[in-house]
Amino acid sequence: MAINIYTRRSAANILAMLLGGIATVIGLVFLAWILWVTLKNGFSALNLNLFTKITAYGSDGGLANAIVGSVGMDLLALLICAPIGVMAGTYLAEYATRSKLGATIRFLNDILLSAPSIVLGLFVYVIIVVPMSNMTNGAVSFSGLAGSIALALIGLPVIVRTTDEMLQLVPGTLREAALSLGIPQWKLTVQVLIRAATSGILTGVLLALARLAGETAPLLFTAFGNNFMTYSPLAKTASLPVAIYQYTNDPSPAMHAIAWAGALLITLFVLTLSLLTRLFFARKKVSYE
């Protein structure tokens, strides 16, 4: 009887490992395929015009204004959501761990984390773009500021979730030792706990930035796009994802080549951020040992 149970469990274990291995291989094959196609088509389209000319030149132009617009909106969005996300995650981990309010906030944060980005873009369109247009008689409507707010709503739940989890991973002995010395709760949180979880929190911020870099749908309803270089947050602003979307809908092969080059830039940016998050995560594990 025991031998039969052992045989069944061994067979189930082998089957599960086999299915898991097949699923992993399939996922890696598609990932490698996507990266290869992006690299092959993107590198062939890379040239100096891509970084020096704007999209107004069409097939003879580049993506300079889109690159500047994406960097500006992503950084502004990060400036908005990072402080709020870190403070909210700290509150959940240290002050609302077992409270009903904390459980409710975590539930709502998970909903926001899984919300479609286009819904958040429409939300910002209704509460920011339309009122600004009405107040200025149409002088200000779509803007880089609205795009940054939409991106901040996307990155906020990522940072909240990561900060909350990283602070909960900090050993409780640190809290006990600090409190036994008479250190106030706020000083314990700022000078001990957040410092111990710094690498994990930075990982969440970098992951949020990587997600913001490739968002297209919310920017269609907020920043809209611009064929010229602009530095004002209240003006329509170009972005790489929107430029790629528009160029792929164009029948011209030259426009498709520029779109592939833009896709390669975003891919390299996200890969770089992913490597940085791995580096921070490795440092965090070493610091806890």
Domain carrying residue 13: 1-43
Neighbouring CB atoms inside 10 A of 169's CB total 12
- In this prediction, residue 284 carries a pLDDT of 54
Amino acid (one-letter) located at 147: G
Residues 230 and 89 in one domain: yes
Q: Are 200 and 168 in contact (CB under 8 A)?
A: no
- In this prediction, residue 283 carries a pLDDT of 59
Neighbouring CB atoms inside 10 A of 140's CB total 17
**Among 265, 217, 223, 225, residue whose Cα is nearest residue 243:** 225
Residues 29 and 68 in one domain: no
Residues 221 and 134 in one domain: yes
For the entire predicted model, the pTM comes to: 0.87
In sequence order, the 6+-apart residues with CB closer than 8 A to the CB of 148 are 73, 74, 76, 77, 80, 233
- In this prediction, residue 289 carries a pLDDT of 46
- In this prediction, residue 281 carries a pLDDT of 64
- In this prediction, residue 24 carries a pLDDT of 94
CA–centroid distance for 216 within its chain: 12
**Among 198, 188, 121, residue whose Cα is nearest residue 153:** 121
Residues 144 and 190 in one domain: yes
Residues 5 and 116 in one domain: no
Residues 147 and 256 in one domain: yes
Residues 37 and 121 in one domain: no
**Among 192, 240, 253, 276, residue whose Cα is nearest residue 45:** 253
Q: Which residue is associated with the tokens 């991106």? A: 151
- In this prediction, residue 3 carries a pLDDT of 66
Write down how long the chain is.
289
| Distance between CA atoms of residues 143 and 17, nearest Å | 51
**In which residue ranges of the chain is pLDDT below 50?**
286-289
Q: How many domains does the chain have?
A: 2
Residues 6 and 82 in one domain: no
Domain containing residue 248: CATH number: 1.10.3720.10
Residues 74 and 192 in one domain: yes
| Distance between CA atoms of residues 286 and 282, nearest Å | 6
Q: Which residue is associated with the tokens 């602003």? A: 237
Note the pLDDT tens digit of each residue in 14-51: 999 999 999 999 999 998 999 899 998 888 888 888 89
- In this prediction, residue 54 carries a pLDDT of 92
